[in-house]
Chains A and B, each alone.
Chain A
Amino acid sequence: MRWHPKHARPHQWFVKDGRPSLGRVAAAALAVATVVGVTAAIARGASSPAPKAKSPAVVVVPIASPTGDDASASSSPAVDAHPVSIDIPVINVHTTLQTLGLDASGALEPPTNLTEAGWYTGSSVPGQNGPSVIAGHVDSFNGPAVFFNVKSLNPGDRITVGLSSGQSVAFQVMLVQHYPKTDFPTQDVYGARPDPELRLITCGGAFADGHYLDNIVVYAALAK
């Protein structure tokens, strides 16, 4: 049988009396939009960093027996070991670490990899006295990145940093703060500390002109 609109009519459910019904087309569009939205949401969720199932035995670096000799002159972070991984079980972060430097303006370079955090090589080695700085992206152009859930950390949450020596250092969150980037408290975040501390830094707040307006900083100290 030759094709005829009459026959096709019943199959085109959005066509009423030979003409597309505005209401039905709109309903179809809405349905498609909903499906697309949900799919996109699922895709976003799926793109969050996959755990690299690695749980090294936690060996807390012995808190250096104090200074019977003058070795402590080297409270400088220049020691052989450097951090290679970070695990934050409560938000399912398990990642290796790249190294970060400063850019030409003196600001901390963000990690080049969205699924990997980075350690600032000018900061203390985790477990040594002073602040150790680890930064990670909160998101990419279209989904979460490695530090997406850092904002939901709470005081007492555990963070473990693995060192190239095979040891690891356990920290616990003390404080989570949001700061406008225009009013970043450099001294609080990067200033000297008498004990081994850790800072996690990522972005947050409103997004405008291609940048987040805030930084989120997690302050952590050695786990008790």
Chain B
Amino acid sequence: MRTRIRRTSMVAAALLLAIDAQPIAASAATSTVGWVRLAQLSPTMAPVDGYLSPSAQTQPAMAHAAYGTISQYQPVAPGSYIAAFRAAGSSATANPLATTQLTVTAGQAYTVAAFGTAANLQVLDDALTAPAGKASVRVIEASRLSPTASVMLGTEPLAANLRSPGASPYQAVNPGAGALLVTTKAVTTQTISTNLVANSTYSVVILDGAEDIARVLVVGDATGMNAMPKGGVATGFGGTANTRHDYAPALELSLLAAMLGLAAIRQLNRRRQSG
């Protein structure tokens, strides 16, 4: 028991550290929207149509979503929303299986998920940024057959004995090719090769699979670039700049000079001839 307690406290320390390195909000200055995606991660819920309201669309934001489905992010105006999951194919006004309210802030992203065996929805805060040059990864445990999971990326632990349903904090890791080691039921370890893009964020989702082998999804949350350009771009030579006119005035001045010169020469010639 003592060892278990120690391990738990180590895990707690790791989680605290990870929380410390939590995402910086994407610039509010350029984000006039927030982003919401819907996910059906409940192993006991039948396929659903997921709605987000208010919405300009009458179609479900996520249709016929079976267990393990995660929608694309949808940009939405900041404000208050209701997410509702209804049995797949039912009308948009049918009684929902589960609903939740969420408040969307500009520049923030959220995953609204049916999670666990209770018929309710949870709102996860998603990270949009990773520390410079790193990738940020979290683990979402959504398996019933494998109630706990431990995940490593190479030798870096992402989650240890994470309980289902649950999500770990994001953790900064080195980008590039790597091996994800997913251990469920404390016995089965599977290796999944990944190629994480720097300056990007990911969720590793653990789902029920066949027999003892969990199904593992690696989902991109926010996608950045391995090589972010430094600074701006030199995309102009000044030909239309307000502050400089080195073309036309030069021409005009030279013509002016030529005219004056011509006049002067003629005047001189005339004097010479008449004199």
A contacts, CB < 8 Å to B: 4-5, 12, 14-15, 18-20, 25, 28-29, 32-33, 36-37, 40-41, 44, 63-64, 66-70, 72-77, 102, 105-108, 110-111, 120, 122-124, 128-131, 133, 135-145, 147-148, 174-175, 177, 179, 181, 184-195, 201-204, 206-208, 210-212, 215, 219, 221, 224
Instruction: State A147–B237 Cα separation when bound (angstroms).
Output: 12
11 contacts between A and B (CB under 8 A): A67-B69, A106-B230, A108-B232, A129-B73, A177-B30, A181-B232, A186-B229, A190-B224, A191-B228, A192-B201, A193-B128
Note all chain A residues with C-beta closer than 8 A to B216: 70
User: CB distance A32 to B266 under 8 Å?
Assistant: no
Contact check: which of A28, A102, A175, A210 meets B238 at CB < 8 Å?
A: A210
Instruction: State A15–B274 Cα separation when bound (angstroms).
Output: 15
Given contacts A14-B263, A194-B73, 8 further A-B contacts (CB under 8 A): A63-B72, A66-B72, A124-B223, A141-B237, A188-B30, A192-B223, A195-B72, A204-B236
Contact check: which of A29, A107, A124, A221 meets B256 at CB < 8 Å?
A: A29
User: CB distance A105 to B200 under 8 Å?
Assistant: no
Note all chain B residues with C-beta closer than 8 A to A215: 232-233, 235
| B43 on the A face (CB < 8 A) | no
Stretch at the interface among B10-18, B90-98, B140-148, B240-248: B240-248
Contact check: which of A29, A143, A179, A194 meets B240 at CB < 8 Å?
A: A143
| B155 on the A face (CB < 8 A) | no
| B260 on the A face (CB < 8 A) | yes
Note all chain A residues with C-beta closer than 8 A to B227: 102, 106, 122
Instruction: State A141–B116 Cα separation when bound (angstroms).
Output: 64
Instruction: State A72–B75 Cα separation when bound (angstroms).
Output: 19
Residue of B nearest to A209 (CB): B238
